[in-house]
Amino acid sequence: MTIRRAHITGWGKYVPEKVITNHDLAQMVDTSDEWITERTGIKERHVRGDNDTTTSMAVAAARQALDVAGLTPDELHLIIVANSSPDYLLPSPANFIQHELGARCPAFTIAAGCSGWVYGLSTANQFIQTGAYENVLVIGVEIISYALDYTDRTTCVLFGDAAAAVVVQPATDGSGLLTFELGSDGSLAHNLWVPGGGTVNPVSQTVVDNREHYIRMNGQEVARFAIRKLVSCLQSVTERAGMSLADLDLIIPHQANLRIIETAAKYLNLPMDKFFVNLHKYGNTSAASIPLALVEAIEQGRVKPGDTIGLVAFGSGLSWAGAVVQMGVRETAAAPVNGNGHVKVPV
């Protein structure tokens, strides 16, 4: 029996122009470039400009992905958006993105934090495998900066804003999404959350005065969880694919903290050059993190036709997600080369 899998045929990204460096943060909060770099590996992060919204950033990345895939918005059958920082409480940002793109397909949002885009990719794969849809757009987009307390150096130094997207279509040549794993441990949810602003603790003057509308994180607990899941999830998805870690051409982990990646690499007995890292430029962009890294890996020639890629994410929930993807070999149209552009790469 021929197996249809979700095969990546287009990709794109959008990164805001505004940059906040470690030196900039040192003027705002009690920290330093050395302190941040030593503990996280992050040097700078991009944050939204005056005209950037979750919708506009997602649309910019999506248009590039459609160009690379050689598709128009009218040809999309489904849009999946991974996002935890919507423009409005409701409706879903996916609805605004669908409208701004000019698409006429269904659209919905997955709120799974930093794991959200891998959740979205695996969901797209199910629709493609069943034959329900052919052309699916999967977007990861976050404006995390709106939820940062710039008096809290344990969180404000970590995050940035970005969007990235892929188009997936059916492949029957063995390429595409080979295996995936999704997980959640809600008993640890309070280690990374926003305690105010929801229905339990609605927005009020007290919430604002207590700064409960900002992200709060138990960094040590999250780091322990992240290392554990990065290791176990990556081992699990490669085993399910009938592979060993040595068979992976590249591993793209969630870009949260370089020390987490380095520690996991030691546990896995893998060299760091097996891992793609771009967090020094962007920080943790949550649901945009893995697709942004994937797009840059393609642009830099680190991902080539026929390569097998491991993806692994962890985030709020606390959640985790992993996948093994084999890149296809057919040529696609190239997106224009510009500040956020692309070279022509076969996928």
| CATH topology (fold) of 178-326 | Peroxisomal Thiolase; Chain A, domain 1 (3.40.47)
Residue 202, preceding bond cis, omega within 30 degrees?
no
Say if residue 336 is exposed, middle or buried (CB neighbours under 10 Å; 0-12, 13-18, 19+): exposed
pLDDT of residue 150 exceeding 80, the answer is yes
Say if residue 69 is exposed, middle or buried (CB neighbours under 10 Å; 0-12, 13-18, 19+): buried
- Amino acid at position 343, single letter: V
Just list the catalytic residues: 114, 254, 284
**Where are the domain boundaries for CATH 3.40.47.10 in the chain?**
5-174, 178-326
319, β-bridge pairs:
184, 315
How far is 46 from 321, CA to CA, in rounded Å?
Answer: 25
What is residue 332's predicted lDDT score, i.e. its pLDDT?
Answer: 38
What is residue 330's predicted lDDT score, i.e. its pLDDT?
Answer: 52
What is residue 1's predicted lDDT score, i.e. its pLDDT?
Answer: 60
Distances (CA, A) of 209 to 157, 205, 213, 215, 304: 22, 6, 9, 14, 51
Q: Residue 11 — very low, low, confident or very high, per pLDDT cuts 50/70/90?
A: very high
Q: Residue 290 — very low, low, confident or very high, per pLDDT cuts 50/70/90?
A: very high
Q: How far is CA 99 from the centre of its chain?
A: 22
- pLDDT, one tens digit per residue, over 213-270 is 999 999 999 999 999 999 999 999 999 999 999 999 999 999 999 999 999 999 999 9
Which 8-state DSSP code applies to residue 279?
H
What percent of the chain stands above pLDDT 90?
92
How far is 243 from 6, CA to CA, in rounded Å?
Answer: 19
- Is the domain defined by 5-174 classed in CATH 3.40.47.10? yes
Nearest to 127 by CA among 91, 77, 165: 77
Nearest to 98 by CA among 52, 44, 58: 58
Helix (H, G, I), strand (E, B) or coil at 93: helix
Locate all alpha helices (DSSP H) within the chain, ordered by sequence.
22-26, 33-40, 54-69, 93-101, 116-130, 153-156, 205-209, 219-240, 258-268, 279-282, 289-299
- pLDDT, one tens digit per residue, over 73-129 is 999 999 999 999 999 999 999 999 999 999 999 999 999 999 999 999 999 999 999
Contact 287, 82 (CB under 8 A): yes
